[in-house]
Structure 1
Amino acid sequence: MTTAWLSFSLRVARSAQDLHDACAVRAAAYGHHLPQLRAALAQPDAVDRHPGTVVLLCRDKDSGRPIGTARVQRCAPKSPVEIEHDVTLPDWLSERPRAEVSRLAIMPGADAMLRPMLIKASFLFCAANQIRWMVIGARSEALVRIYRRLGFIDAFDHGAALPLAHGGGLPHHILALDIVGTERSWYQGQHGLYTTIFETFHPDVQLFDTPGTAQPAERIAA
């Protein structure tokens, strides 16, 4: 395994300031195309503080400026992921451990490695927490193509876009990624990101606290 350093750090938001900075990135990135959502995205919501949620935050090393973010929410027996408040997932998804990745946002002009690293961090977090399926809602056809190239499949046979309340009520394609099978399929298909995701150690990507430290939701609530 090789080691590669990045121009930014990627961590889990551990404080109220971290969460505020993640929201600022969301508002800037989404607000450009969806100005009606800018104000709402600039503030944390209930899912951000949910015990099963982590918010990933990228900071430029030189300036410390927040430049990228994503949110991963794990399901719980009596607490489905947010997307399930709007759609009923098929049994092969709803009966498996799953996590929703949402609020993925990147500042304009930021390092091209941001998206791959946010995807890597989301994948590794799901794998470490024994999640079987990663679920997303993709609004644009361009994003749908990106995620399908990563191995995401349509959650519904019809493949139609469905409105999501946490996506501003706009239609989204619901896609899912098999966490267990992705490494094998990427290797067999010689996927361009295989080495980056699975065979490269990035010291700048740190997802977990050392033993005995508080969990993200506890710190943010404090």
Structure 2
Amino acid sequence: MNAKPEVSIPDNISPSFAGDTSHVTKTQTSKRESRLPFRIRVVEDDEALERALKVRQSAYMRHVPDFARTMNEAESYDREPGGLVLLAEAKLTGSPVGTMRIQTNRYRSLAMEQSVKLPEWLAGRMVGATRLAVEAGEPGRMVKTALFKAFYLYCLQEGIQWMVIAARAPLDRQYAALLFRDVYGAGEFIPLGHAANIPHRIMAFEVETAERRWREARHPLYEFMIGTHHSDIDLSAASALNWPDTKVEFQRVASLADIHSGSRNTAGTEPFFR
């Protein structure tokens, strides 16, 4: 298993080189250090997976109890190559406080593609986040935000071009606030057969332009996402995907992320951690 540090992309470095950080100097990567009251790590064994399943089922019981009752065991996607499960654990008690599952299209199509056909403009190296779950209340908001940062850092680490998510209401509004764009009609929800026909909003996020778009929008999470190093987010146990090509060639169409149906989404409509 290849160990890799948290990867950060300075303003003056093209994300096209996200997979190769040998050219990045110490000065370029200097950031403000901040500690979190929990740690995020990659699930590596059955014990850690059980802890992730516990917080996952508990969180889903609050919103979709019938579906949550079927979530007491691991799913095939939890152990498949090309993906990973993140686990957040409180430093004080050691208890699990959040989890997220990440799946790429390195070896197979994204899970949502069982239920929907993605448009042609959405192609290349893609990653989806599913089974996002955090503890209830105010503490869970920060856990959710940090899990998203771990998701973003993983994309940089592996040279991912597109984040693609399927979000239930009201979580969809939080992704819209992060500048995710609707893949289909603006605000459109689609029942997903592989997810108990629960309506989801399919949204995408172009990784290459993230820093610029957050900066230009003066996004309230810009400093957290870009300007701060969180050593409590540890992705070192994530296996390298070893994509067939050696360098990511991001799509160069001008403002690609802004010309599709979700272009009316704006920053700051609802904080992600609310």
- The match for 2:85 is 55
Q: CA RMSD in A?
A: 1.6
Deviating beyond 4 angstroms after TM superposition, the runs of 4 or more aligned structure 1 residues are none
Hey, what's the Cα distance between the residues in 2 that align with 1:189 and 1:197?
14
Hey, what's the Cα distance between the residues in 1 that align with 2:72 and 2:135?
14
Shift of residue 184 of structure 1?
Answer: 0.7
- The match for 1:138 is 167
Q: Secondary structure of the residue that 1:62 maps to in structure 2?
A: coil
Q: Secondary structure of the residue that 2:98 maps to in structure 1?
A: strand
- The match for 2:215 is 187
| AA at the equivalent of 2:205 | L
TM-score (norm 2): 0.73
- The match for 2:113 is 84
- The match for 1:124 is 153
Asked if 1 retains the 8 angstrom alpha-carbon contact of 2:182 and 2:203, the reply is yes
- The match for 1:107 is 135
Hey, what's the Cα distance between the residues in 2 that align with 1:158 and 1:192?
23
Q: Secondary structure of the residue that 2:234 maps to in structure 1?
A: coil
Hey, what's the Cα distance between the residues in 2 that align with 1:132 and 1:89?
15
- The match for 2:64 is 34
- The match for 2:198 is 170
| AA at the equivalent of 1:59 | E
- The match for 2:177 is 149
Q: Secondary structure of the residue that 2:164 maps to in structure 1?
A: strand
Q: Secondary structure of the residue that 1:17 maps to in structure 2?
A: helix
Shift of residue 107 of structure 1?
Answer: 1.0
Shift of residue 166 of structure 1?
Answer: 4.0
Shift of residue 215 of structure 1?
Answer: 4.5
Hey, what's the Cα distance between the residues in 2 that align with 1:26 and 1:198?
28
Percentage of pairs with the same residue: 35
Q: Secondary structure of the residue that 1:24 maps to in structure 2?
A: helix
Asked if 1 retains the 8 angstrom alpha-carbon contact of 2:134 and 2:140, the reply is no
Shift of residue 118 of structure 1?
Answer: 0.6
Q: Secondary structure of the residue that 1:40 maps to in structure 2?
A: coil
Asked if 2 retains the 8 angstrom alpha-carbon contact of 1:27 and 1:37, the reply is no
Shift of residue 159 of structure 1?
Answer: 4.5
Shift of residue 111 of structure 1?
Answer: 4.6
| AA at the equivalent of 2:78 | D
Hey, what's the Cα distance between the residues in 1 that align with 2:234 and 2:98?
15
Greater radius of gyration (CA): 2
- The match for 1:219 is none
- The match for 2:235 is 207
Any stretches of 5+ residues in structure 2 without a counterpart? Answer: 1-30, 241-274
Asked if 2 retains the 8 angstrom alpha-carbon contact of 1:7 and 1:111, the reply is no
Hey, what's the Cα distance between the residues in 1 that align with 2:54 and 2:72?
5
| AA at the equivalent of 2:203 | L
Q: Does 1:46 align with 2:76?
A: yes
Asked if 2 retains the 8 angstrom alpha-carbon contact of 1:22 and 1:57, the reply is yes
| AA at the equivalent of 2:37 | S
Hey, what's the Cα distance between the residues in 1 that align with 2:177 and 2:105?
25
Shift of residue 27 of structure 1?
Answer: 0.5
Q: Secondary structure of the residue that 1:41 maps to in structure 2?
A: coil
Hey, what's the Cα distance between the residues in 1 that align with 2:200 and 2:100?
17
| AA at the equivalent of 1:187 | R
Hey, what's the Cα distance between the residues in 2 that align with 1:68 and 1:8?
10
Q: Does 1:6 align with 2:13?
A: no
Hey, what's the Cα distance between the residues in 2 that align with 1:102 and 1:111?
17
Q: Secondary structure of the residue that 1:112 maps to in structure 2?
A: helix
